[in-house]
Structure 1
């Protein structure tokens, strides 16, 4: 059943047509990925659907009674509240029910109250409260915040003290908790670490409503979506499958259109030859036949259009090296770094050899970017030792684009760094990265996030370094550019050490994954799928970096893992025990509330007061049980 109709939507900015006659029918339960180049109009379409931007023509029809939620770039949050208080605003009406229930409980202790009326109201309120998960909404809200990557201490911090990425996670949590019928998510995996992305995936898999997602995370789209919509040249193309299906089907459709175009060209040529031949006979009958064929030719030419392009214009990336490095590229021993009381990592060891493509992953805030900056020499370690190998030349890609001068033009930014190159060489290089014509005179501050990424990749390519340190290189890049970058890195004969949350990238490019923990780097000798398989395997199967470790150290680590598993088992058993106690108390409360409704009880003030007091005591005990249950679940997640 259709939940949303998008009819004949048009949107222009001046002479720039962004959306042109867009039509889509969105069905209940659909999970649709929206893909396309940066600037194709995906976010514009979402804003129009959400009602935050007015279309020039057309209409958006949401099924009557359905709600819609949109994760926008402008976060609707109160920075004077804590993260928990902000998300609990979603349940404000539920909390009002609870407040009224407590008021009735107090009124029932008054013998002069209208007990029958109060108990009816109480029963109605309690039914609604339970239906809306009033008893578990607080623990659920905390669980979503922590699942999306906030630390427990950050949950109770005021939003004004949190980073932009943390605020985005709070806004996302708030939206998920609202549980709208139609959910619009624009790049929801930005600012999430791998654990947060996995949590969001599981949440959306179970989500009963309709989900529309703009994302460059191809792995995420493959897992979540059952339809893909490509926004291209102001139009939309609908595909009945996930991202991988879309890639195959898209190529098939383009090839089919080329074939149809070529067949029409052949038919046009045949008709032209027939017309010329009929006219050469110069007879009345043949002239009429020629005129008939000319009408056919005209109709065919009107439907011909431009020749379809199978392969779109894309950046052309190729990483080369000026000189070959020694075999040992990077050696790290006993490295530690902290900021105040916050320890990022302690006593870590790592070795990378020439030609390796190694990924560094770990929770947000663990210090991955800091480690790259220490290797580069930009940040000083607190202790430990780093050695770069012979002839190692570092090329560094900064996800924050801090090395770009916002006041310079694109041309000057590149030329100032490579003054030995001619204007023609610079402009040819820029053209290969889709900076053409007058675009090269744009100032850096006026560029989009994707354009800044392309410019930094170009500078990195021109340096011809043999050791690339890459910090989230696929962020802000459209899917086609990501694939070009991946292919270029696969062909690269140097060494790569990359931070990335792009699991598709990690699967395709890297050969070894290093997970940064506070006191260790754990290594997995494969791509992302291998890493996931090993993380889910038994402890005996986990590949641990044994370089520099004695057998005793390895056994201690295995013992620690066994103890951790035993701890988790004990917590799970305790949770079951508490859940049983919660169930028993809820049944007891329900029975006492039924007793209050009996005439022989509510007409007896002393007995009614006694029963009501016992209900209040049980509810206090129930609240304590829920708090304990919540603590146990938090311990389980740690």
Structure 2
């Protein structure tokens, strides 16, 4: 099969751990558009790393079976044909300047304009929001013009309006597209859907909304005239916000609008002008959680009381088999899950894009847990379905925070 990708009888495991993939048969013709679905930890990202040649070149693992990628059977040569966009764009970005990052692959400015990213060219990559970084990695991927582009949760940090335009471009690409995303809105537009793992994750089926009757109590957080700037650029302009016990607030806004900056300022990570009064312990789950893990097992990271752990386990979010694992051995989706649950140790819970690499039901269950445990939460998200589950929805735009009608 010279004109595409063939994986036959593929089995894979990390070190001495159980096999993540077993006897997999997978094909992709040139020009085919494939949606890969599967639950958190099912092996989707592992599959993508095998096709792109990262595995086994850079990983200690056990792998067997046949892998052929556009006529090549040596993993070291796969990258000549395949470009992988990982879930975490920071893993892909190399250069200090956005212009150098993009021009290292191609000097075609038409693609930058097509992605509506002209405003990013003059920036430093360190100045970009996570969504803007994700946009830059997408531009470099398509500028590479490889036979196959693999997109692993490529839109997780992007505003839905931008996603609508990008998916049209993705599906018009002449080469092969292998795509994975927790959203199922555009699943039917792909030529084929492949499921990885033995459990179906109910794509296309929205669970029935729970009804929470948690009483909203006294104020636990007061933010007054909060302002912050990077150099001469104002990010937050006189923000005022109150949060009460048992209340969940969501904040939406375009990429680079300052949602993450606001959460960091409220948590105290960033020093901003203004007044913040916190009543209770505050905790923050960032978009990329690996840096926050310090323990040897998931159980040690969480370390809840028996009653709280029972409530969490009863929600169906956390499984027993995850508890003994090392936090840095988890998949991206599992890492995000543990980070969000760990944040529930706080009285005031700040969640930055908590549903990245998760399905719709996860967001509903997390808000349910926040209510059941009597926590208060501020959730920054591009997921409008999650945002609408909150008690109050704000929009951050032009540095100002306003109630969303």
TM-score > 0.5 by shorter chain: yes
**Match status 1:230 vs 2:223:** no
What is the match of residue 182 of structure 1? Answer: 148
SS in 1 for 2:55: coil
Match of 1:36 in 2: 38
Could you say what secondary structure the match of 1:47 adopts?
A: helix
Given the alignment of the two structures, is residue 216 of structure 1 paired with residue 182 of structure 2, yes or no?
Answer: yes
Q: What's 1:537 paired with?
A: none
Alpha-carbon displacement from aligned partner over 1:34-90 (angstroms, at most 9, x marks no partner): 1222331212222333344366213446499x964332579666637x432443344
User: 379, 387, 392: which one pairs with 1:498?
Assistant: 379
Contact (CA 8 Å) 2:223, 2:277: kept in 1 or not? yes
Secondary structure of the equivalent of 1:53? helix
- Quote the residue 1:553 is aligned against: none
Which structure would you say has the larger Rg?
1
Per-residue CA distance 1:501-535 (angstroms, 9 max, x = gap): 2344335x24654221234334322xxxxxxxxxx
1:355 deviates by 6.7
Higher relative CO (CA 8 A, sep ≥ 6), structure 1 or 2?
2
CA contact (8 A) 2:225 2:237 kept: yes
Deviation digits for residues 588-615 of structure 1, max 9, x if unmatched?
A: xxxxxxxxxxxxxxxxxxxxxxxxxxxx
Alpha-carbon spacing, 1:482–1:89, altered in 2? closer, same or farther (3 Å): same
CA contact (8 A) 2:216 2:246 kept: no
Distance 1:212 1:523 in 2: 39
Distance 1:75 1:431, change over 3 A: closer
Count of matched residue positions in the alignment of Structure 1 and Structure 2: 382
Structure 2 residue runs without a partner (length 5+)? 57-62, 73-79
Residue 620 of structure 1 corresponds to none
Asked if residue 325 in structure 1 is aligned to residue 228 in structure 2, the reply is no
SS at match of 2:142: helix
Which of 398, 410, 420 matches 2:285?
A: 398
- 1:75–1:171: 8 Å Cα contact kept in structure 2? no
Give 1:204's aligned residue: 170
Does the 8 A contact of 1:361 with 1:500 survive in 2?
A: yes
User: Are 1:344 and 1:518, in contact at CA under 8 Å, matched by a contact in 2?
Assistant: yes
Quote the Cα distance in structure 1 between the aligned partners of 2:328 and 2:151: 26
Question: Is the contact made by 1:10 and 1:56 (CA closer than 8 Å) also made in structure 2?
Answer: yes
TM value normalised by structure 2 = 0.71
Give the SS at the match of 2:19.
strand
CA deviation after TM superposition for structure 1 residue 176, in Å: 1.4
Query: In angstroms, what is the RMSD of aligned CA positions?
Result: 4.7
Corresponding residue of 2:233: 342
Matched, 1:475 2:356: yes
In structure 1, the partner of 2:262 is 371
Change in Cα spacing, 1:484 to 1:32, as seen in structure 2 (3 Å) is farther
Which protein is richer in helix relative to its size?
A: 1
Q: Which residue number corresponds to residue 269 of structure 1?
A: none
C-alpha contact (below 8 Å) 2:216/2:247 kept by paired residues: no
Scaled by the length of structure 1, what TM-score is found? Answer: 0.48
Match of residue 77 from structure 2: none
Looking at structure 1, the residues matched to 106 and 121 of structure 2 have their Cα atoms a distance apart, in angstroms, of 20
Larger strand fraction of residues:
2
Give 1:373 deviation, angstroms: 4.0
Q: Matches of 1:491 and 1:428 in 2, distance apart?
A: 12
Does 1:514 pair with 2:394? yes
Partner of residue 594, structure 1: none
Deviation at 1:484, TM superposition (A): 3.6
Matches within 5 A, 1:594-605: none
Alignment of 1:9-408 (within 5 A): 9-13=9-13, 14=16, 16-26=18-28, 30-53=32-55, 56-60=64-68, 62=70, 68-72=82-86, 79=95, 82-91=97-106, 137-138=108-109, 140-144=110-114, 146-147=116-117, 151-154=120-123, 157=124, 169-194=135-160, 196-219=162-185, 221-222=186-187, 225=190, 227-233=192-198, 243-244=203-204, 247=205, 325-326=217-218, 332-350=223-241, 357-376=248-267, 379-383=270-274, 396-399=283-286, 400-401=288-289, 404=292, 406-407=294-295
Structure 1 CA distance for aligned equivalents of residues 224 and 92 of structure 2: 45
